[in-house]
Each structure stands twice: as structure tokens, then as C-alpha cells.
Amino acid sequence: MNHNTRNPKTANRRDFIKASSATAAGLTFTPLIAKAINNRIRFSVIGLNHGHINGQTNAVLRGGGELVSFYAKEPELVADFQKRFPQAKLARSEQEILDDKSIQLVVSASIPNERAPLGIRVMQHGKDFMVDKPGVTSLEQMAQVRKVQAATKRIYSILFSERLENPATMKAGELVKAGAIGKVIQTVSLGPHRVNPKSRPAWFWDTKYYGGIITDICSHQFEQFLYFTGSTSGEIAASQVRNVNHPQYPNFEDFGDVLIRGNGGTGYMRVDWFTPDGLSTWGDGRLTVIGTEGFLEVRKNVDIGGRKGGNHLFLVNQKETQYIDCSKVQLTYGTQLVDDVLNRTDIALPQAHCFLAMELAIKAQKIARKI
């Protein structure tokens, strides 16, 4: 990580944290990982094609899930997952897991365009589904997923980890909901990524498989826009995509941005594959939320100003500028998802919100101007 001398204006961190807690109407910091109540539900994993599967699995384990079994077609992916999660039995087929009536939840990070069809099969077998983003890659898939979810009443949850698994963004949500910056006007959300070409499978380079850069990584930004503005509807004002620097992969997109209007505010979002090797992390993900009484900025993964680690939150109101270290803020998604599976509630990621975020991303991709 980068190192620098501390800014005198932000030196007294204890006072800042104390002030931010008061602003948030008594919300307090809690440990990152709460003690899990083990074996609350039984879950399995199908599809290991993206490394996000490890974080997804750990989220459910933190929530008290018991990892029973897993299946993938690729031997090299199987070996790595077995090493990480030795408690899980390798199933002989996907069908073996679908037919196991004791399994309540299936978690997946399969190839993106295969995720919705798998989720449909999972729901039709009476199980809930938690999938990596993008959870759906076309409007046709979206219509089918909506139809089956409505008919089966199963959970179809997309893990938008840039909020749900990021402590600083979770804390920012608490502050905004408590009125710390007044009424939200706009979000500006930036999602740069490092491309790491040698480690990428063939499907990574073809929009046919991942749906395009806006459908894929920008779905995070749509989810955050809806959450922070409180919007329950949205209209794409403009969107564009480019392949700037990867001519050897003509079906790849390495840049995209979007302007959106919602019934709770407006938003701008940009995603790209241009994180330079000199940065200490895969991407300087940032979120700015602008309100009538102030603004906040989340530096999710790195503070290039010099503070160590990630999970940095800056809050500016009518009185002062505060810095909040959010590295110990509790992540709640895994526990809430397990609660939803057990109680048939809709709390971890409300279904309507989840589907709308994904649908808006697909629509923005569909109308995007190719530059």
C-alpha cells in the first residue's frame, strides 16, 4: 500500500469517528466478522468460473451456512476450491445437488450467460439461489427469471459485492439513511479494474458470454445508485461503450459510462479495465454521494493519499470534514441472506431492488453507443 504523512486536518481520528457516530443517530462500529451460528442452513455451490465464488461462499459461511457439496466441470477449478473448502463433498453432477432435498441454497459464479438458466433450474427444484454479478445477461433471460421467481417464490439474490461486501460502503449507507448529508441528489460511482490478461479465460474477452462491460461490472454501480438515492425506477439518459486498447479481442469492451435519472436522484457511473500495474490493488473503486447538506466519498480499496489498506470514508457536512476508518464495520449480507432463507423474508437484498438494478444495467448496455 502507499504511505504518506497524515493530513493534520484529519489527525484526530477518534474525534471523527465519535462525530460520525453521533451524526448517524447512534449507529456504532462493530467487528467485521460476527461470531456465526453454525449450520443454520445447508448450501451447495455449482459453477466456479469466477474467483468471486470464494467470497460468496465465505459470506454464507459467516452467516451460519453449512457448505455440503459443490460441482464444476473444470478439474483445475475443482482442485482449487477443494483446497479452500475441504469440508465440501464433490458432487458427481449438477443434478445430484438439485435433487438433494436437504440443500436449501445454491451459490454460483459460473460463466455469466449460464447463470440465469442455472438459477431457473435451482428455483424450479425448490431451492434459493445466490449468484455473482452479472446475475443475468439479457432482457430475455431477465423475463424468464422474473417469471420463475414469481411462480416459485424462491430467492434470486445477486451478490453486488461492491456494496454488500465492502465495509466502507455499508457504513456510508448507514450515514445516508440516517440523514447525515440531507436529501441525496446524485451518486457518482467509478469502477476501474485491472485486466490481468494472462489469468483470464477465453469467455472473458467476448461480450456474448459476459453481456458487455455495462451489464457486467457496471451492474454494481446501478445497484449502488438505486440504494443511495432510494430510487425505485430509472431511465437511462445516455450510455456508451468502447474497446480502446484491446484490438486483439474485437468482441471485448474495456470502457463504459452511463447517465441515469431515477425517481430519487440522478447518477453518473464509469467502469473500465485500465487500472495500471503501479497501483497497490486491482482498482481504485470510488463512490461519491452528493446531498443537500453535504457529501461523502468512499475509497473502497485504496487511499492514494497515503492511508494504509482500504475501506476509507470521507464525510463532509455543514460543520466539518471527517475521516472514518471503516475496516471494522460489520458485514451483514451473509447473515441476512441465511435469515431470509430460513424465514422467507426479503431483507438482505430486496428482490425488486435486485432485479431492477440488473435490468437497468442490461438496458443501458443494449442502447449504449459504441464509440
| Residue 306: band (very low, low, confident or very high) from pLDDT cuts 50, 70, 90 | confident
Q: What is the reported pLDDT for 38?
A: 78
Is 29 a residue whose pLDDT tops 60? no
Q: Which of 346, 55, 272, 23 is nearest to 172 (CA)?
A: 23
Where do the structural domains in the chain lie, given as residue ranges? 8-30+163-332+365-370, 41-159
CA distances to 55, 108, 119, 219 from 144, rounded to whole Å, are 27, 18, 10, 19
Give the cell for residue 239.
450510455
Contacts of 119 (CB under 8 A, 6+ apart): 108, 129, 131, 135, 145, 156
Q: What is the reported pLDDT for 53?
A: 98
- CATH second-level architecture of 8-30+163-332+365-370? 2-Layer Sandwich (3.30)
- Global pTM reads 0.89
Q: What is the reported pLDDT for 78?
A: 97
Residues 336, 337, 339, 340, CA torsion sign:
positive
8-30+163-332+365-370 and 41-159 have identical folds: no
Taking only the tens place, the pLDDT of each residue in 124-145 is 999 999 999 999 999 999 999 9
Fold classified for 41-159: Rossmann fold (3.40.50)
Taking only the tens place, the pLDDT of each residue in 50-83 is 999 999 999 999 999 999 999 999 999 999 999 9
